[in-house]
């Protein structure tokens, strides 16, 4: 069975972002829409209405993402990206491990591949932008990690 690479998925709209958060909750945490709504303190049909309309009230964004337990926070990322901003996780200042560097290399390769496919008209502009944005965020996170190596955070059982 194919496993999605959740880290590099980019939402294309508000309702797509909400659906991605809910799909993550279902696939990775075994949380149904009803359980997510219960954790948010709202009725499940209300959550279905918000997802269908793509219009979650702003005061429910954080409870929604917290209830879905999705570390990628697709809804917040979509809002930032729609404002032409990038998002990165808060850096800890620890040295990168080999798997982190390999993931970065893979991300860079995917971005170059997307640019080549776009130039050959084999990939859409949106798909290319998603690949480039994911790579730019990965690079920005590594940059911030290097910047904070002099003052690393404590390891609390990560």
17-76: per-residue pLDDT in tens? 999 999 999 999 999 999 999 999 999 999 999 999 888 999 999 999 999 999 888 999
Average per-residue pLDDT in the chain? 88
- Residue in this structure with the two tokens 């080549």, named with its chain if needed: 116
Domain spanning 6-82: CATH 3.30.1380: no
CA-to-CA distance for 147 and 144, rounded, in angstroms? 5
DSSP type of residue 152: P
Among candidate residues 40, 15, 54, 4, the one with its CA nearest the CA of residue 31: 40
- Predicted TM-score (pTM) of this structure: 0.74
Q: How many CA atoms lie within 13 A of 58 on its CB side?
A: 1
């Amino acid at each position: 069975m194919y496993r999605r690479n959740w880290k590099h998925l980019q939402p294309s709209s508000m309702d797509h972002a909400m659906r991605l958060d809910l799909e993550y909750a279902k696939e990775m945490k075994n949380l149904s829409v009803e359980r997510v709504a219960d954790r948010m303190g709202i009725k499940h049909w209300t959550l279905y209405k918000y997802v269908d309309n793509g219009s979650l009230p702003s005061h429910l964004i954080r409870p929604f993402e917290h209830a879905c337990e999705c570390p990628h926070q697709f809804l917040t990322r979509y809002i930032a990206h729609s404002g032409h901003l990038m998002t990165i996780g808060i850096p800890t200042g620890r040295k990168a491990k080999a798997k982190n560097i390999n993931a970065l290399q893979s991300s860079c390769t995917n971005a170059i591949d997307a640019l080549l496919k776009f130039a050959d008209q084999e990939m859409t502009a949106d798909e290319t932008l998603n690949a480039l944005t994911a790579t730019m965020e990965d690079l920005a996170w590594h940059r911030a990690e290097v910047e904070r190596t002099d003052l690393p955070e404590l390891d609390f059982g990560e």
